Structure 1
């Protein structure tokens, strides 16, 4: 599958958004970095999957609690309540994207260095317990 130029820009924006959010957390919840990270993450996600699919993803009835928590956390970060906003945003993120975690773990297990770490007996057992058997294939 080939990515269009718009999707490539979206991947870059999403990666920079995650980087800015990590930096914001590491620098004691710096509100400016967290706000920039949120804007880049949401913008990148929109460029990757398109505006209509992004709205459809966030507006699904079964994911409404996650959407409210995620967007509420973003609003709290913008209102300078960075610590509370990130916690609420993390809860929403897990509710929204939690279905993708087993797929991501399955992909990471096939990577050269990370896969060998994740497949060690102790770590593998913990990850299997946390993820369950939700892999689609």
Structure 2
């Protein structure tokens, strides 16, 4: 069984609160305070879960420079006070950074009882196949 340290538990909590604050910030018409707190908590949580060195290596690999620049640039723009533009740039950077993880996540979600059924519905199935890189054809 995998041992989870107290630091990792705190990191998961920080990341979850960060996502919740970002969600509330978007829900409340891009409130810059909530978005800024959410971004900081998410990054702190990610660093605590994975570790500072691995987080640094993830964001600053040569082939991820464009995504990292967009992600951190979006955070800076949110902190400066332009939340809508900053979140759009940050979302673009997030997609560039984590695009390799999306197929793994979709295939994992397909194995879950309720979510898997939803992902196998006709219209959603094609979209999920495109994201996961699955070449199944519905002929």
* TM-score, length basis structure 2: 0.92
Task: Tell me what 1:87 maps to.
Answer: 88
Task: Tell me what 1:96 maps to.
Answer: 97
Task: Tell me what 1:57 maps to.
Answer: 58
Task: Tell me what 2:121 maps to.
Answer: 120
Residues 58-79 of structure 1: CA deviation (Å, up to 9, x unaligned):
1100000000000000000000
> Shift in Å at residue 8 of structure 1?
1.2
- RMSD between superposed Cα atoms in Å: 1.3
Unaligned runs of 5+ in 1: none
Q: Count residues with an aligned counterpart.
A: 134
Which has the higher mean CA deviation after the structures are superposed, 49-58 or 113-122? 113-122
Task: Tell me what 2:29 maps to.
Answer: 28
Task: Tell me what 2:70 maps to.
Answer: 69
Distance in 2 between the 1:90 and 1:13 partners?
20
Unaligned runs of 5+ in 2: none
> Shift in Å at residue 106 of structure 1?
1.1
> Shift in Å at residue 115 of structure 1?
1.2
